[in-house]
Amino acid sequence: MVHPILMPKPGQMTEECVLVAWHKSEGDPVHRGDVLFEIETDKSVMDVEAFDEGVLLRRLVEEGETVPVNAVCAYVGAPGEAIPDAPPPIAPVAPAAPDATAAAARPASAAPAPSTDAAVRLRISPRAARLAADAGLDPRTFTGTGPEGRVVERDVRAAMAARDTATAEPMRAGSAQAEPAAAVVPAAGGEEEPRPLSRMRRVIAQRLTESVTTIPHFTVTVAVDVTRLLALRQELKAAGRSYTVTDFILLATAQTLAEMPDVNSRTDGVSVWTRRRVHLGLAVTVPTGLLVPVIRDADRLTIDEIHRKAAALAAAARDGTLQADDISGSTFTVSNLGMFGVEEFSAIINPGEAAILAVASAVLTPVVIGEGIAVRSIMKLTLSADHRLVDGELGARFLGALRRRLEDAASLRREVAGA
């Protein structure tokens, strides 16, 4: 029996994927669990496995093509078995602003590809494609040094270095007033030539626009005295147990959400679902945008487990190796900009959640204690909440409970001892 192989839908908001590389050729045997091809979404690169046995009868999609989810990419069946005469067509995807991988096949500055564009299809790794798009370079002009002539990251970096050298050459020739190289000539008004938004940036724009236009946001801020927390962290670090401030915030947030499940709920504007399991999203900055990997059942984890999971997910996000399950299903998100010297900020709610926590830097601040003044490390926490689900009182009580946990060094010490 012939089985169609469909482009999967890795995430709720994913509508298209790029088929990056085939791992099977036509006629190759296929076993259940074999990797058929590799795809790139707006958030990660992942393998697509076979669920049926047989041989690969026909490949309908070329490497580098952007394909709608659920479109037929190939057929698997018995050797010599006939495939459908008219397979479902794959609708061409032509977004207004091509992403990094699409730009690899058809750069924004080029004219629309002719019907014979198979002659100019490009083999390029996802990392190289993103880097080329960010640098404003056309990877079709590169000589690939990867397997089978594939353009890889080092090829793009070599092209960037060559461009930078060419740009600097007039200045080395002694002309202080030399014009910049053509590749970086500013457009009218002093602006540089535009470059397309990456796929990830387009999805971020879509989701956050949806959030701010459909969710009634309000914010509440508290100041947390983390002096004892920071002292405990340094003490543990000296003893060989290194935790981040984020680890403690994630632990305290998960426990507070378990205590106040209404802040862990979701709504479609008509009904409300209160979720008893706490799946914490952790905002991680990557070169092409922002990812939110998920720590599942965080309220049931020790500080050691949270530390290991957070570190592993953050590393996978930056390496581009997150899987679909790693970035879906969060019930609440934490965004920490404390390492960047931010004194206070508010974040936009991730659609499908009731709130998001924005964590700022710990700042040395004079504080009135009794009748005296002391210098303490003060950190601002801001909760952005969906007013349909969380009112001001609940938001304030949530932050108050979270502050008590973070300021209670004795309880935190017991958490560490029991980890």
**The domain spanning residue 328 has which CATH number?**
3.30.559.10
Domain identity same for 166 and 35 = no
d(CA 45, CA 347): 27
High-pLDDT (> 90) share of the chain, %: 49
Torsion of Cα atoms, 396 then 397 then 402 then 405, to 10°: 140
d(CA 77, CA 213): 48
Amino acid letter, residue 142: F
| Torsion 40-45-50-51 (CA) sign | negative
Token pair for 17 = 């994927």
Residue 192 belongs to some domain of the structure: no
Q: Which residue reads 């091809």 in tokens? A: 37
d(CA 125, CA 322): 16
Residue 195 belongs to some domain of the structure: no
Given this model, what pLDDT does residue 271 score? 92
Residue 161 belongs to some domain of the structure: yes
Average the pLDDT over 146-169 and give the result: 68
Confidence bin at 31 (pLDDT 50/70/90) = very high
Choose one of 77, 109, 125: the last residue of a domain: 77
Picking from 206, 47, 346, 150, the residue whose alpha carbon sits closest to that of residue 142 is 150
- Distance between first and last Cα of the chain: 53
Per residue in 86-115, pLDDT (tens digit) is 554 444 443 333 333 333 333 333 333 333
Picking from 164, 119, 128, the residue whose alpha carbon sits closest to that of residue 146 is 128
Confidence bin at 161 (pLDDT 50/70/90) = confident
Domain identity same for 242 and 357 = yes
User: In 294-371, at which residue ranges do the beta strands (DSSP E only) sit?
Assistant: 294-295, 332-336, 355-369
Given this model, what pLDDT does residue 154 score? 78
Average the pLDDT over 352-368 and give the result: 96
Beta-carbon contacts of residue 259 (< 8 Å; ≥ 6 apart):
401
Residue 50 belongs to some domain of the structure: yes
Domain identity same for 220 and 320 = yes
Query: Domain containing 123 — which CATH number?
Result: 4.10.320.10
Given this model, what pLDDT does residue 157 score? 77
Indicate whether 12 pLDDT > 70.
no
Q: Which residue reads 């798009």 in tokens? A: 133
Domain identity same for 69 and 105 = no
- Range with lowest mean pLDDT among 109-118, 132-141, 235-244, 383-392: 109-118
For the question of residue 387 being annotated catalytic, the response is yes
Kindly state the helix (H) or strand (E) to which residue 184 belongs, with its residue range.
none
Of the ranges 16-20, 125-129, 251-255, the best mean pLDDT one? 251-255
pTM of the model: 0.63
- Range with lowest mean pLDDT among 89-93, 115-119, 149-153, 392-396: 115-119
Query: Domain containing 48 — which CATH number?
Result: 2.40.50.100
Name the domain count of the chain.
3
Indicate whether 361 pLDDT > 70.
yes
- Range with lowest mean pLDDT among 153-162, 183-192, 324-333, 398-407: 183-192
Given this model, what pLDDT does residue 400 score? 97
- Range with lowest mean pLDDT among 50-59, 178-187, 230-239, 356-365: 178-187
Residue 289 belongs to some domain of the structure: yes
Domain identity same for 236 and 313 = yes
CB atoms within 10 A of CB 189: 5
Token pair for 69 = 């989810």
d(CA 88, CA 289): 34
- Range with lowest mean pLDDT among 17-26, 27-36, 101-110, 385-394: 101-110
- Domain range for 256 is 215-417
Choose one of 162, 182, 202: the last residue of a domain: 182
Find the length of the chain: 419
Choose one of 182, 203, 230: the last residue of a domain: 182
Confidence bin at 58 (pLDDT 50/70/90) = very high
Domain identity same for 116 and 41 = no
Alpha helix (H) residue ranges in 215-340: 227-238, 245-259, 303-319
Domain identity same for 232 and 370 = yes
Domain identity same for 138 and 33 = no
Indicate whether 168 pLDDT > 80.
no
Domain identity same for 116 and 73 = no
Q: To the nearest whole number, what is the mean pLDDT of the chain?
A: 82
Given this model, what pLDDT does residue 134 score? 62
d(CA 152, CA 35): 21
- The β-bridge partners of 281 are 294, 333
pLDDT top residue among 117 and 37: 37
Token pair for 356 = 């998001």
Q: Which residue reads 């390492």 in tokens? A: 339
Q: Is 412 helix (H, G, I), strand (E, B) or coil?
A: helix
Average the pLDDT over 16-42 and give the result: 88
**Given 23, 31, 279, 387, which residue is catalytic?**
387
High-pLDDT (> 70) share of the chain, %: 78
Domain identity same for 149 and 283 = no
pLDDT top residue among 280 and 159: 280
Taking every pair of Cα atoms in the chain, the longest distance, rounded to a whole number of angstroms, is 89
Domain identity same for 243 and 378 = yes
CB atoms within 10 A of CB 404: 13
Beta-carbon contacts of residue 80 (< 8 Å; ≥ 6 apart):
none
Domain identity same for 112 and 50 = no
Average the pLDDT over 20-47 and give the result: 86
d(CA 322, CA 313): 7
pLDDT top residue among 101 and 71: 71
Residue 84 belongs to some domain of the structure: no
Residue 402 belongs to some domain of the structure: yes
Q: Is 185 helix (H, G, I), strand (E, B) or coil?
A: coil
Residue 188 belongs to some domain of the structure: no
